[in-house]
Structure 1
Amino acid sequence: MTNKRLHVEKYFDGENFIENKVFTLSKGKIVAIDNDISKSDEVLSGLVVPGFIDLQVNGGGGVLLNSTPTAAGIEKIMQAHIKFGTTAMLPTLITDKVSVMQQAADAIAEAINNNVMGIIGIHFEGPHLSVTKKGAHSEEYIRKITDEEWQVLSRKDIGQILVTLAPENVSVEDIKRMVDMGIKVCLGHTNADFETAQKAIDAGADGFTHLFNAMSPLQGREPGVVGSALLNDKASCGLIVDGHHVDFASCLLAIKTKPQGKLFLVTDAMPPLGTDDKEFMLFDRKVILDGGKLTSPTGGLAGSVLDMATAIKNTHQILNIELGEAINMATAYPANYVNQQSIRGRLFEGCQADFVVLSNSLSVEQTWISGKQVY
């Protein structure tokens, strides 16, 4: 394979903003970075940044993973997000029948085996959740863990597995078992008290799904799951910065409280992302898009149409977070969380050549995955 040399006028490598370097790409990786701009095949103007990594993606491009648990469906979701700079994701299955979990796992395995771009594993958001904090999840499918779920979770052909669970409904022993299997365990859709959340953290859970949403709140005499999330420095939290899920002041409180590197941006995106659709079916319920907000018939939030580029833009422009830090929240920090930091989330020699070219307004102009321009 012929090496490709790209003159990058300006880029952020995960640590610094750097100008006028040449990336040599080979076999999907950045194999060298040098100063000889006279010898390049192509010039990348704009700001080049690491590709975005989204660990919570329910759908996009008109497809919901639960409704279309196939490799083709996963590829269509990925294609919708590529336009907004996402180069790696965990397609996310919300609470459903075990047969759908099995189909989704088969589809992820097929996608990985067929080298579908950007698919690095799967996020099972449920089904072992709190009915009280179920949000848009279907109560009829919320259940205790059984051998059938363990068979899905034990698979070694579906990349990184992330599980969102309510610790009041899953034993400490089962959380330890998941962690020992290499599964990332996040607390979410939970009404647990602080003590129960802490026991889950002690058992190896190290994440919180869409911080502040669908979890017991921080109160003076009961810190709840939010208190546990903010207090545990080693735990990471996903954050939906769309202005609908979390007030911007609460986002700032989390950024101020958590150690650097322990908050990462997620979209929680649903099928309308990347389309002109204004509604979709979530099981037997119609979800309506109005004013950038997705709501179910009960009026509750049902995912988002947020894309990662907009999440970064909101974090930088509305929350006034320094641009490099906002980018890291969508790149390096999620990569760290799923143990991909040696190959993704940064632009150094030896890293995968996943990157995005941004305009001055932080819109996505190009997306590259494994050294190939895909948008």
Structure 2
Amino acid sequence: MKLIGKQVLTPSGWQRDLLIEVTAGRIVAVGQADSAADADYYPFKIVPGFIDIQVNGGGGVLLNQQCSVDAISTMMQAHRRFGTTAMLPTLITDSVEVMARTAASIVKAREQGVAGIVGVHFEGPWLSTVRKGVHSEQFIRPPTDRELAIISDPALGKVMVTLAPETVPVSVIQTLSQAGVLVFLGHSNANAAEVEQALDAGAVGFTHLFNAMSPMQSREPGMVGVALASAHSYCGLILDGFHVAPQTCQVAMRAKGPERMILVTDAMAPAGTELNDVEFFDTRILRHGNKLTTPDGTLAGSCLTMIEAVRNAVSWCRVDLADAVAMASTTPATLLGLQDTMGQIAVGSAASFLCLDENLSIRHLWQQGTKIELNDQEPVE
């Protein structure tokens, strides 16, 4: 396959009339299109596919409730038409049995070649009850050897875990980090010293910055303050207008830069659907426009999509489109150690990219070299 984009976002910036050649799902050549008469021309901006590292559900599916290969595939398809070409399906705090079943399904999905499933994110269960958000308190607990074994299984691919450092021994963070697990901090009431200790032990980032974590104050930086001050940590950010005010997002982006800030959806089952009411453990998630809450008004994830997050970064936070795309693609790929195989339009990368029009609507999309029909999400032969 050969195609030419009117503007293509490459690691060195925007390039005009660039030829992209794809073989066996990989980009094998990128260059000027002077003599490529056999290539299809797309008069759009072509950008790398998005990578969502925190997606709890979508397409009517919540991973906790349907932790199967079919459910994982449904989630991927639901988010794919909004630009997500790779993801970490995310399990909210649950029983060890559900953790084990989810892990087994992630392994099977990867073995069966479900496109875009690069690993898994366990959000909990080692959290703070003070900052639990919608996580079920009955399942919040200290780590066990069985849970550590589940999370450390290399067959899972790339693994993230969100934990509250004040509830977990430093030795556990060290063990997980040494096993290649990406430790993120969140749902935590830790003080700055506890957060710094966790970073020193190997933690690399923060889950949904500002939400469900100790705030920054003048004499106690809290988790938020340490996150903004630490030069090498990553931060996930839910840019839906409900979780964090746009001005606050601007401050955070200026502090971290596009190389350390990651746009996430924290999407729940209603994402990509018209569902307004779904079950969630012993309560329900209600949709009010684009806002999800439990009946008592507690925020319960989002129905945000990645293309909306990118648009919001551009329109609300005055971020350059290239930087917004980086926070949705290149930066998460770098966090996951996959920067050589995804997250950029370059030789050797997976041929996962999308065409954006002037309104930042997705006009065409490819996932691992296969062009996807955006209406019904079936591959175009």
TM-score (norm 1): 0.97
The residue correspondences of 1:136-285 to structure 2 (distance < 5 A) are 136-285=134-283
The residue correspondences of 1:79-118 to structure 2 (distance < 5 A) are 79-118=77-116
Aligned to 1:304: 302
Aligned to 2:378: none
1:40: Cα distance to partner? Answer: 2.5
SS in structure 1 opposite 2:154?
A: coil
Aligned to 1:26: 23
Code of the residue aligned with 2:293 in structure 1: it is T
TM-score (norm 2): 0.96
SS in structure 2 opposite 1:157?
A: helix
SS in structure 1 opposite 2:34?
A: coil
SS in structure 2 opposite 1:329?
A: helix
Aligned to 2:288: 290
Paired with 2:55 and 2:90, the residues of 1 have a C-alpha distance of 5
Code of the residue aligned with 2:2 in structure 1: it is R
Code of the residue aligned with 1:302 in structure 2: it is A
1:36: Cα distance to partner? Answer: 3.5
Code of the residue aligned with 1:116 in structure 2: it is V
Residues 88 and 117 in structure 2, CA contact (< 8 A), matched pair in contact too? yes
Aligned to 2:48: 50
SS in structure 2 opposite 1:31?
A: strand
SS in structure 1 opposite 2:364?
A: strand
Moved over 3 A (4+): none
Aligned to 1:329: 327
Aligned to 1:345: 343
1:154: Cα distance to partner? Answer: 2.4
Paired with 1:92 and 1:38, the residues of 2 have a C-alpha distance of 42
Alpha-carbon spacing, 1:266–1:37, altered in 2? closer, same or farther (3 Å):
farther
Residues 4 and 41 in structure 2, CA contact (< 8 A), matched pair in contact too? yes
Deviations 1:261-288 (A, max 9, x none): 0101000001111111111111121110
Structure 2: where are the runs of 5+ without partners? 374-381
1:293: Cα distance to partner? Answer: 0.4
SS in structure 1 opposite 2:8?
A: strand
Paired with 2:114 and 2:314, the residues of 1 have a C-alpha distance of 31
Paired with 1:196 and 1:365, the residues of 2 have a C-alpha distance of 46
Query: Which 10-residue stretch deviates more, 172-181 or 284-293?
Result: 284-293
Paired with 2:117 and 2:15, the residues of 1 have a C-alpha distance of 29
Paired with 1:110 and 1:7, the residues of 2 have a C-alpha distance of 36
Residues 242 and 314 in structure 1, CA contact (< 8 A), matched pair in contact too? yes
Aligned to 1:16: 13
Deviations 1:127-157 (A, max 9, x none): 0000000001000000000111012012111
Paired with 1:308 and 1:259, the residues of 2 have a C-alpha distance of 18
Paired with 1:15 and 1:238, the residues of 2 have a C-alpha distance of 24
Residues 2 and 21 in structure 2, CA contact (< 8 A), matched pair in contact too? yes
Alpha-carbon spacing, 1:243–1:262, altered in 2? closer, same or farther (3 Å):
same
Paired with 2:132 and 2:11, the residues of 1 have a C-alpha distance of 36
Deviations 1:210-269 (A, max 9, x none): 000000000111110001101111000000111100011110110111244010100000
SS in structure 2 opposite 1:7?
A: strand
Paired with 1:108 and 1:232, the residues of 2 have a C-alpha distance of 32
1:82: Cα distance to partner? Answer: 0.4
**Number of residues paired by the alignment?**
372
1:359: Cα distance to partner? Answer: 1.6
Paired with 1:191 and 1:15, the residues of 2 have a C-alpha distance of 41
RMSD of the TM alignment (CA)?
Answer: 1.0
Paired with 1:344 and 1:290, the residues of 2 have a C-alpha distance of 35
Residues 129 and 143 in structure 1, CA contact (< 8 A), matched pair in contact too? yes
Residues 7 and 40 in structure 1, CA contact (< 8 A), matched pair in contact too? no
Structure 1: where are the runs of 5+ without partners? none
Residues 258 and 326 in structure 2, CA contact (< 8 A), matched pair in contact too? no
Code of the residue aligned with 1:43 in structure 2: it is Y
1:14: Cα distance to partner? Answer: 3.8
Residues 258 and 324 in structure 2, CA contact (< 8 A), matched pair in contact too? no
